[in-house]
C-alpha cells in the first residue's frame, strides 16, 4: 500500500470515531430537546382565562376582583357568539321541519366544539365532569380547538392505492345564509379577547394534585410517590451495600467463597428489571404478604434489590481508592480492624460511596418495570409517610407510561406527559450532575 | 483475667465478622431467591401445558378457548429487536470507544464522558416516551425521508472511503506512469457508480410508506442508543487495559495509528470488546418500557422475517402488559406463562453473564494482569 493511502486510511479511521461520538451527542440532543422544550411548557405557558377560573375555583388561587374583571371582559367578548346562537335558534324554529333536521347534526357538532373552546354556555346547568366545566385552559390548546371549530375534518379514501388523505373544509359552509354565518369570522377575529391569553409560570404544577384524571392540576402525588420509592430503596440498599462492600474489601480473603459471591453480585446486576418486578410480586406480595395490596414498601424493597449491585460496586471502588497508608497508619497505632474501618476508612471513602449511591438513586427513581406489579397505581392521593407501609402510590415513571398510552384523552394532556418526563429527567440528571461534580472534587483531592 | 478479655475480644471480632459475612451473603444470595421464586411460579405452566407448544408454536391466544401459549413469535420479537439494537450500538459504540481511548486528547475526553453518562442515566421510560410520542409519529408521517436520510448518513462516508481505497489499491498494480491516471479514472468510475447506487437506494427508501410508527425499527434504534453507553464504557476499559507497550511496539515498527489500532490493539482487547457486546445485548433484551410503549405489541412474525417496519412483541413487554390482566387469576396458566417467560429471560441473562465474566477473566490472564 502506498504511504498516501495509509495516511488517508488513518485519517478516515479517526474521522469514523469522531463521527460516532458526534452521532452519540446528536442522539442526546435530539432526545433531550423535545423533552426540555415541551416539558417546560407544562410550567411556563400562555394561560387563558379558563385556566385562571380553574385555579380560582379548585385551588382558591388568584385575586377575586381581578378574576371577576377577567371573567367579565371575556364574557363580554363572548356574548355576541351566544347572541348569534340564540338568533339561529329562533331561525330554526321558524323553519319547516325538513329543513330543520338538516341543521341538527352540524349544530350539535358546532356546540360541542364551542364548549371545548369556551366552556359550557353561561346560564345552562353545570356539567358533572370537571373537564366539561371549563374551556381550553392553555392558549396552544385553544388554537387547536379553534381550528377544530373553524374546519371540519374528513378522511378521503377515494384513492385505494394510497393512505387516506385528510381533507379540511370550513365549517362555515354548513351554515351559509343563516344567522350563524358571521359567527366563524367573529370568533377567528376575537379569539384572543375571548380567551385573554397571558404568560403564566405555573410552578405549582410540581405540587398540585391532579383533578379529573390529570386534565387539570399538577403532578404532586407522582413526585411524592417517586421520592418515597427512591428514599425507601436507599434505606434498604445503602446499609446492605456498604456492609457487603466492607466485608468484600476489608475482611474477606480471595478464595472460592468470595469469587462465588462476586459471581452472584454480577448476576444480580444482569437480571432484567421486569424480572425484579415479578420477583417482588411473587415474593414480597404473594409469599410473605408484606402488605395486603401493592405498597410503597414492597416497591422500595424490590428497587433496593435492583440497585444493590451498583451500590456494592461503587462502595467497593470508593473503599479501594482510600490510600493504603491511611489504613497502615491506623493499624500501626494499635487500632483494631473494625475500629480502623469505622474511624479511618469509611470517613475517607464516604464521598465516593455517596457519589455511587447518588447515581443509583437516579436509577431507582427512573425505573418503571419493578414497580408496575409492586407499588404503582394510576391515580391516587399524596400519601402520609406511615401510609407508605401499606398503600400503593402513583409514581412519575409509571404515570408517564400510563398517561401516554392508556389515558382516554391522550392528546389533550400532552403537556402533562411532557411535564412529567421533564421533571423525572431533570431529577435524574440533577442527581447525576451532583455525582459528577463530586467525583471531580474527590479526584482532585486524591491527586493533590 | 487478661487471657479472658482477649478471648472475649477475639470472640467478639469473630462474631462481628460472621455478622458481616451473613449480611453480605444475604444480599448476594438474593439471586437464588429470585431464581427460586420465578421458577416456582413457572413450573406449573410447564406442568399444565408442556414445553412443546410454548417454544415451537407462534399462536399466542392466552385468552382464547382453548387458550394457546405459543411464544415463538414473542421470542422472535425479542431476538429481532435485540439484533437491531446490536447493529446500531456495536459499530457506533466500538468506534466511539476507540476514538475515546486512542484518538481524542485528554480534555476533549473529559467533555465526552459526561455525554455518555447522561445517555446512560436517562430513565428508560423517558426513552420510551420519546420513541412513542416523538419518533413514532415522525416515522409514520415522514418515514421514507427519515430512512433515506439515515441511509445517506451511514453509507455516504463509508462508500467514499471504500471508493478511494479500492482505486488506490488497484492503481498500485500499474506502472508508475499510468498510476495517477488510472487512479483518477477509477475514482470517477467507482464514485459515479456508488453515487448512482446511493441515489437509487435513496429514491427507493423515500417511496416507502410506513403504516405504523410503532415498529421494530423504532425500538431497535432507541434500544441501540440505550445500549451505547454500556458498549462504549466497557470496550473503552478493555482498550485501555492493553497498555502502552503494545501500542509503542507497533508504532516503532512504522505502523500508522489506524493500523496499530486495527491490527494490534483491537485483536489484543477483542475479548473485552466481546464482553461489552454481550453486556449491550443484555441491556437490550432486558429493557421493558421502550418495547412495551413503542414496538406495536403484535405477537406475530413479520413477513418476510427481516422486515423491521412491522410491529413486534417481546418477552418483557408481554410480561409487563399481560400481568395486569392475569394477576387476579393467580394460578391459571395465563399467570404462570409469564413466569415461564421471565425464567427464560433470567436463564439467558445468567448464561450471558457467566460467558462475559469468563471472557474477561480469560483475557486478564492472557494479558498477564
Note the pLDDT of residue A227: 92
Provide mean pLDDT across the span A131-139: 87
DSSP 3-state assignment of B210?
coil
In-domain check, residue B3: no
Q: What is the spatial distance between Cα B2 and Cα A156, in angstroms, rounded to a whole number?
A: 98
Query: Is residue A11 domain-shared with residue A64, that is, in the same domain?
Result: no
Query: Chain A partners of B123 at a C-beta cutoff of 8 Å?
Result: 365-368, 397, 424-425, 428
H or E segment and range at residue A108: helix A97-118
A211: β partners = A216
In-domain check, residue A207: no
Q: Which of A201, A236, A258 is the last residue of a domain?
A: A201
In-domain check, residue A210: no
Query: Is residue A387 domain-shared with residue A274, that is, in the same domain?
Result: yes
Query: Is residue A374 domain-shared with residue A333, that is, in the same domain?
Result: yes
- B90 confidence band (pLDDT: 50, 70, 90): very high
Note the pLDDT of residue B326: 65
**B165-196 exposure pattern, b = at least 16 Cβ within 10 A, e = fewer:** eebbeebeeeeeeebeebbeebbeebeeebee
Cis peptide before B304 (omega within 30 of 0): yes
Report CA dihedral (B359, B363, B364, B366) to the nearest 10 degrees: 140
Is there a contact between A241 and B27 if contact means CB atoms under 8 Å apart? Answer: yes
Nearest C-alpha in A relative to B97: A17
The Cβ of residue B357 has, within 10 Å, a number of other Cβ atoms equal to 18
Query: Is residue A13 domain-shared with residue A139, that is, in the same domain?
Result: no
Burial (CB count within 10 angstroms: exposed 0-12, middle 13-18, buried 19+), residue B44 = middle
Please provide the DSSP assignment of A302-351 as one string: HHHHHHHHHHHHHHHHHHHHS-HHHHHHHHHTT--HHHHIIIIIHHHHHH
Query: Is residue A158 domain-shared with residue A255, that is, in the same domain?
Result: no
Query: Is residue A232 domain-shared with residue A152, that is, in the same domain?
Result: no
Which among A20, A147, A135 has a CA at the least distance from the CA of A71? A135
Taking the Cβ of residue A264 and every Cβ of chain B, the question of whether any pair is shorter than 8 Å is answered with yes
- A3 confidence band (pLDDT: 50, 70, 90): confident
In-domain check, residue B349: yes
Please provide the DSSP assignment of B262-283 as one string: IIIIHHHTHHHHHHHHHHHHHH
Window 305-334 of A, Cβ < 8 Å to B: 305, 308, 312
Q: What is the spatial distance between Cα B295 and Cα B76, in angstroms, rounded to a whole number?
A: 13
Query: Chain B partners of A276 at a C-beta cutoff of 8 Å?
Result: 34
What is the total count of domains within chain A?
3
In-domain check, residue A213: no
| pLDDT at residue A448 is higher than 80 | no
DSSP 3-state assignment of A87?
helix
Is there a contact between B289 and A31 if contact means CB atoms under 8 Å apart? Answer: no
Distances in whole angstroms, Cα of residue A49 to Cα of each of A76, A192, A293, B142: 13, 10, 42, 37
Window 83-112 of A, Cβ < 8 Å to B: none
Is there a contact between B165 and A5 if contact means CB atoms under 8 Å apart? Answer: yes
Query: Is residue A36 domain-shared with residue A57, that is, in the same domain?
Result: no
Provide mean pLDDT across the span A403-428: 89
In-domain check, residue B290: yes
Taking the Cβ of residue A279 and every Cβ of chain B, the question of whether any pair is shorter than 8 Å is answered with yes
Note the pLDDT of residue B57: 80
Is there a contact between A400 and B129 if contact means CB atoms under 8 Å apart? Answer: yes
Taking the Cβ of residue A222 and every Cβ of chain B, the question of whether any pair is shorter than 8 Å is answered with no
* Domain region containing B344: 30-367
User: Contact at 8 Å (CB) between A274 and B319?
Assistant: yes
Provide mean pLDDT across the span B85-112: 89
Cell of A110: 358546532
User: Contact at 8 Å (CB) between A21 and B119?
Assistant: no
Q: What is the pTM of this model?
A: 0.91
Is there a contact between A24 and B123 if contact means CB atoms under 8 Å apart? Answer: no
Query: Chain A partners of B330 at a C-beta cutoff of 8 Å?
Result: 286
Question: For A68-79, what is each residue's pLDDT tens digit?
Answer: 898 888 888 888
Question: For B307-332, what is each residue's pLDDT tens digit?
Answer: 888 889 999 999 998 887 765 556 67
Distances in whole angstroms, Cα of residue A416 to Cα of each of A42, A156, A210, A216, A218: 6, 32, 10, 9, 8
Taking the Cβ of residue A8 and every Cβ of chain B, the question of whether any pair is shorter than 8 Å is answered with yes
- A390 confidence band (pLDDT: 50, 70, 90): confident
Q: What is the spatial distance between Cα B159 and Cα B197, in angstroms, rounded to a whole number?
A: 10
DSSP 3-state assignment of A293?
coil
In-domain check, residue B123: yes
Query: Is residue A26 domain-shared with residue A108, that is, in the same domain?
Result: no
CATH for B42: 1.10.3720.10
In-domain check, residue A118: yes
- A263 confidence band (pLDDT: 50, 70, 90): confident
Residue B214 DSSP code: S
**Residue entry with cell 433515506:** B148
Provide mean pLDDT across the span A32-56: 91
| pLDDT at residue A174 is higher than 90 | no
Provide mean pLDDT across the span A156-170: 75
* Domain region containing A340: 220-447
Please provide the DSSP assignment of A238-291 as one string: HHHHHHHHHIIIIIPPSSHHHHHHHHHHHHHHHS-HHHHHHHHIIIIITTS-SS
Is there a contact between B354 and A373 if contact means CB atoms under 8 Å apart? Answer: no
Query: Is residue A357 domain-shared with residue A273, that is, in the same domain?
Result: yes
Question: For B224-283, what is each residue's pLDDT tens digit?
Answer: 999 999 999 989 988 888 888 889 999 999 888 888 988 888 888 888 899 899 999 999
DSSP 3-state assignment of A411?
coil
User: Contact at 8 Å (CB) between A249 and A405?
Assistant: no
Question: For A306-336, what is each residue's pLDDT tens digit?
Answer: 999 999 999 998 998 888 888 889 889 988 8
Query: Chain B partners of A35 at a C-beta cutoff of 8 Å?
Result: 126, 129-130
What is the total count of domains within chain B?
1
Which among B34, B53, B51 has a CA at the least distance from the CA of B43? B51
Taking the Cβ of residue A394 and every Cβ of chain B, the question of whether any pair is shorter than 8 Å is answered with no
In-domain check, residue A209: no
| pLDDT at residue A301 is higher than 80 | yes
Mutate to test the interface with B, among A1, A17, A435 (most CBs of B within 10 A): A17
Computed over every residue of chain B, the mean pLDDT equals 86
- A163 confidence band (pLDDT: 50, 70, 90): low
In-domain check, residue B9: no
Cell of B135: 419518533
Is there a contact between A305 and B164 if contact means CB atoms under 8 Å apart? Answer: no
Question: Distance (Å) from the C-alpha of residue B10 to the closest C-alpha of chain A?
Answer: 11
Of B31, B116, B118, Cβ closest to residue A264 = B31
Taking the Cβ of residue A349 and every Cβ of chain B, the question of whether any pair is shorter than 8 Å is answered with no
Query: Is residue A160 domain-shared with residue A252, that is, in the same domain?
Result: no
B69: β partners = B60
Query: Chain B partners of A274 at a C-beta cutoff of 8 Å?
Result: 286, 288, 316, 319-320, 342, 345
| pLDDT at residue A447 is higher than 70 | no
Of B27, B130, B357, Cβ closest to residue A35 = B130
Provide mean pLDDT across the span B142-168: 84
Alpha-carbon torsion A370, A376, A382, A385, what sign?
Answer: negative
The phi, psi pair for A386, rounded to 5°, reads -70, -30
Cell of B90: 456495536
Is there a contact between B323 and A425 if contact means CB atoms under 8 Å apart? Answer: no
Taking the Cβ of residue A12 and every Cβ of chain B, the question of whether any pair is shorter than 8 Å is answered with yes
Query: Is residue A71 domain-shared with residue A35, that is, in the same domain?
Result: no
Amino acid at each position: 500500500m502506498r504511504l498516501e493511502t495509509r495516511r488517508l486510511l488513518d485519517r478516515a479511521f479517526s474521522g469514523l470515531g469522531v463521527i460516532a461520538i458526534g452521532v452519540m451527542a446528536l442522539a442526546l440532543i435530539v432526545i433531550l430537546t423535545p423533552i426540555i422544550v415541551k416539558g417546560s411548557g407544562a410550567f411556563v405557558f400562555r394561560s387563558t382565562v379558563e385556566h385562571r377560573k380553574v385555579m380560582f375555583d379548585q385551588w382558591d388561587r388568584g385575586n377575586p376582583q381581578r378574576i371577576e374583571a377577567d371573567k367579565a371582559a371575556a364574557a363580554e367578548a363572548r356574548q355576541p357568539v351566544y347572541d348569534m346562537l340564540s338568533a339561529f335558534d329562533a331561525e330554526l324554529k321558524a323553519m319547516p321541519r325538513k329543513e330543520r333536521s338538516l341543521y341538527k347534526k352540524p349544530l350539535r357538532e358546532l356546540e360541542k366544539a364551542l364548549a371545548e373552546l369556551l366552556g359550557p354556555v353561561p346560564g345552562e346547568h353545570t356539567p358533572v365532569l370537571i373537564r366539561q366545566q371549563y374551556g381550553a385552559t392553555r392558549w396552544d390548546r385553544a388554537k387547536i380547538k379553534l381550528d377544530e371549530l373553524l374546519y371540519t375534518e374528513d378522511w378521503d379514501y377515494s384513492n385505494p392505492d394510497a393512505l387516506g388523505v385528510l381533507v379540511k373544509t370550513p365549517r362555515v359552509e354548513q351554515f351559509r345564509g343563516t344567522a350563524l354565518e358571521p359567527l366563524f369570522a367573529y370568533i377567528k377575529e376575537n379569539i384572543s379577547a375571548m380567551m385573554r391569553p397571558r404568560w403564566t409560570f405555573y410552578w405549582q404544577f410540581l405540587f398540585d394534585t391532579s383533578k379529573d384524571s390529570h386534565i387539570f392540576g399538577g403532578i404532586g402525588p407522582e413526585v411524592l410517590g417517586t421520592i418515597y420509592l427512591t428514599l425507601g430503596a436507599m434505606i434498604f440498599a445503602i446499609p446492605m451495600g456498604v456492609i457487603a462492600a466492607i466485608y468484600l474489601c476489608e475482611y474477606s480473603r480471595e478464595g472460592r467463597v468470595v469469587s462465588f459471591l462476586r459471581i452472584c453480585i454480577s448476576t444480580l446486576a444482569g437480571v432484567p428489571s421486569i424480572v425484579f418486578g415479578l420477583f417482588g410480586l411473587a415474593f414480597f406480595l404473594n409469599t410473605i404478604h408484606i402488605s395486603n395490596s401493592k405498597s410503597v414498601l414492597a416497591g422500595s424493597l424490590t428497587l433496593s434489590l435492583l440497585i444493590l449491585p451498583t451500590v456494592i460496586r461503587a462502595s467497593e471502588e470508593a473503599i479501594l481508592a482510600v490510600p493504603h497508608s491511611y489504613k497502615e497508619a491506623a493499624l500501626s497505632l494499635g487500632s483494631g480492624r473494625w475500629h480502623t474501618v469505622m474511624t479511618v476508612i469509611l470517613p475517607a471513602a464516604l464521598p465516593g460511596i455517596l457519589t455511587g449511591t447518588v447515581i443509583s438513586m437516579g436509577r431507582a427513581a427512573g425505573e418503571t418495570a419493578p414497580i408496575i406489579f409492586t407499588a404503582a397505581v394510576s391515580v391516587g392521593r399524596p400519601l402520609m409517610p406511615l401510609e407508605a407501609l401499606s398503600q400503593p402510590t402513583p409514581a412519575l415513571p409509571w404515570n408517564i407510561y400510563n398517561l401516554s398510552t392508556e389515558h382516554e384523552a391522550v392528546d389533550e394532556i400532552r403537556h402533562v406527559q411532557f411535564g412529567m418526563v421533564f421533571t423525572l429527567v431533570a431529577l435524574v440528571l440533577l442527581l447525576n450532575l451532583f455525582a459528577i461534580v463530586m467525583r471531580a472534587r474527590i479526584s482532585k483531592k486524591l491527586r493533590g | 483475667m487478661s487471657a479472658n478479655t482477649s478471648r472475649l475480644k477475639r470472640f467478639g471480632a469473630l462474631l462481628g465478622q460472621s455478622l458481616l459475612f451473613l449480611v453480605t451473603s444475604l444480599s448476594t444470595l438474593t439471586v437464588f431467591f429470585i431464581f427460586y421464586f420465578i421458577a416456582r411460579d413457572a413450573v406449573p405452566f410447564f406442568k399444565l401445558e408442556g414445553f412443546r407448544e410454548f417454544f415451537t408454536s407462534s399462536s399466542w391466544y392466552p385468552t382464547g378457548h382453548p387458550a394457546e401459549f405459543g411464544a415463538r413469535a414473542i421470542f422472535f420479537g425479542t431476538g429481532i429487536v435485540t439484533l437491531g439494537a446490536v447493529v446500531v450500538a456495536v459499530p457506533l459504540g466500538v468506534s466511539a470507544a476507540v476514538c475515546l481511548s486512542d484518538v481524542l486528547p485528554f480534555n476533549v475526553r473529559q467533555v465526552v464522558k459526561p455525554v455518555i453518562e447522561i445517555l446512560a442515566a436517562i430513565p428508560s421510560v423517558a426513552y420510551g416516551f420519546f420513541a412513542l410520542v416523538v419518533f413514532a409519529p415522525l416515522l409514520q408521517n415522514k418515514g421514507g425521508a427519515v430512512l433515506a436520510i439515515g441511509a445517506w448518513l451511514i453509507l455516504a462516508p463509508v462508500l467514499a472511503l471504500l471508493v478511494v481505497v479500492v482505486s488506490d489499491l488497484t492503481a498500485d498494480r500499474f506502472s508508475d506512469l499510468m498510476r495517477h491516471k488510472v487512479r483518477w479514472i477509477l475514482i470517477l468510475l467507482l464514485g459515479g457508480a456508488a453515487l448512482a447506487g446511493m441515489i437509487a437506494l435513496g429514491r427507493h427508501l423515500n417511496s416507502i410508506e410506513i403504516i405504523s410508527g410503532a415498529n421494530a425499527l423504532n425500538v431497535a434504534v432507541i434500544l441501540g442508543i440505550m445500549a451505547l453507553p454500556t458498549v462504549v464504557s466497557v470496550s473503552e476499559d478493555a482498550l485501555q487495559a492493553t497498555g502502552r507497550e503494545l501500542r509503542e511496539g507497533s508504532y516503532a515498527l512504522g505502523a500508522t495509528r489506524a493500523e496499530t489500532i486495527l491490527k494490534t490493539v483491537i485483536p489484543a482487547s477483542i475479548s473485552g470488546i466481546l464482553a461489552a457486546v454481550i453486556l449491550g445485548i443484555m441491556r437490550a433484551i432486558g429493557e421493558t418500557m421502550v418495547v412495551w410503549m413503542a414496538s406495536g405489541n403484535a405477537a406475530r412474525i413479520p413477513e418476510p422475517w427481516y422486515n423491521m417496519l412491522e410491529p413486534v412483541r417481546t418477552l418483557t413487554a408481554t410480561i409487563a402488559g399481560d400481568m395486569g390482566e392475569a394477576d387476579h387469576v393467580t394460578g391459571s396458566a395465563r399467570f404462570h406463562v409469564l413466569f415461564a417467560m421471565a425464567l427464560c429471560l433470567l436463564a439467558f441473562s445468567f448464561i450471558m453473564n457467566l460467558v462475559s465474566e469468563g471472557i474477561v477473566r480469560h483475557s486478564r490472564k492472557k494479558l498477564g494482569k
